[in-house]
């Protein structure tokens, strides 16, 4: 069933955008401005694509964009669906699977996250080197879709080491402060309690967010090379005295837009 739906979706998209992209990019909360850097060839709103769901969260535009960044051909998911919106995991990872079947080799995922690493400040970046899935489910539950990948996918190197190294080199070259660490994926939609953040710190995390983990799992199932970057839009609950809000998340993302865009532009071309 899922595979049939994917085939139909890919066929529809190819009827509009026949060229095969090499790199897929998912833009997280408030990070959609990167599309200004793309020489756009096609924009398809999610609501026109079979089985895609419109985005409901402010800061997530909901467009599938094809184009070039320099000489690199990309397909961009401008906005994503989240588990907390009430979508099934199948729906959450459907766009990731779609771009994989369009032929990409590498997938770059970006998100906004709360940080609790020792020296973290809002407005900094964290390269995700591994994750802990605390969503209470897994997008690969149910019968395995063998056309997509194996029943028990390996997750030893879920985040590609070479891509991590490239990201580090670019941050260093651009003299942008960055962190590297473990992302804890939670369901939301509440932000964490301070006790939960202390727990996440204890188990080795440095950032927490409500996305990315399902997509990384689905992408690894499909054998893609994955890179992921968090924009630390706020310190996690209890780290500072401030209360958390989505406004703060989108405001911070907006403030770092230039750095984020400058980084991503160079990274995409280096792959
Ligand atoms: N917690 C969970 N998700 C988030 C946060 C946070 O503090 N900030 C942005 N997304």
28 CA distance to ligand 1 centroid (A)?
12
Residue spans of the chain under pLDDT 50:
none
The residue nearest atom 3 of ligand 1, judged by CA position, is 209
In angstroms, the CA 67 to CA 88 distance is: 30
C-beta 260 within 6 A of ligand 1? no
pTM of structure: 0.96
Which of ligand 1's atoms lies nearest the C-alpha of 234?
8
Instruction: Give pLDDT, residue 28.
Output: 87
Query: Model confidence over 198-222: pLDDT tens digits?
Result: 999 999 999 999 999 999 999 999 9
Q: Say if ligand 1 is within 6 A of residue 114 CB.
A: yes
Q: Give the pLDDT of residue 60.
A: 64
* CA separation for the pair 222, 198 (Å, rounded): 34
Tokens coding 228: 């992921």
**Which residue, by CA, sits nearest to atom 2 of ligand 1?**
209
- Environment class of residue 257 by beta-carbon count within 10 Å: exposed (0-12), middle (13-18) or buried (19+)? middle
* 52: Cβ contacts below 8 Å, ≥ 6 apart: 9, 46, 64, 94, 95, 98
User: Which of 83, 192, 199, 250 gets mutated to test ligand 1 (max ligand atoms within 8 A of its CB)?
Assistant: 192
Give residue for tokens 């369901």: 187
């Amino acid at each position: 069933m899922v595979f049939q739906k994917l085939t139909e979706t890919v066929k529809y998209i190819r009827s509009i955008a026949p060229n095969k992209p090499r790199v897929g990019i998912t833009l997280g909360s408030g990070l959609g401005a990167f599309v200004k850097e793309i020489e756009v060839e096609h924009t398809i709103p999610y609501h026109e694509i079979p089985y895609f769901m419109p985005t409901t969260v402010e800061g997530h535009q909901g467009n599938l964009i094809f184009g070039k960044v320099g000489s690199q051909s990309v397909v961009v998911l401008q906005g994503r669906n989240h588990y907390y919106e009430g979508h099934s995991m199948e729906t959450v990872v459907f766009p990731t699977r779609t771009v994989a079947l369009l032929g990409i080799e590498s997938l770059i995922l970006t998100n906004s996250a709360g940080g609790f690493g020792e020296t973290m400040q809002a407005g900094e970046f964290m390269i995700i080197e591994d994750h802990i899935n605390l969503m209470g489910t897994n997008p690969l539950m149910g019968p395995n879709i063998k056309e997509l990948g194996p029943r028990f996918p390996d997750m030893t190197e879920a985040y590609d080491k070479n891509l991590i190294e490239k990201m580090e080199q670019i941050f260093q070259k651009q003299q942008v402060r960055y962190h590297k660490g473990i992302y804890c994926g939670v369901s939301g939609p509440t932000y964490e309690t301070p006790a939960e953040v202390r727990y996440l710190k204890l188990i080795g995390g440095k950032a927490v967010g409500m996305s990315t983990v399902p997509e990384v799992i689905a992408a690894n199932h499909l054998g893609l090379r994955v890179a992921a970057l968090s924009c630390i839009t706020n310190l996690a609950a209890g780290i500072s005295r401030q209360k958390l809000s989505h406004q703060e998340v989108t405001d911070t993302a907006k403030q770092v837009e230039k750095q984020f865009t400058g980084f991503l532009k160079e990274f995409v071309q280096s792959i």
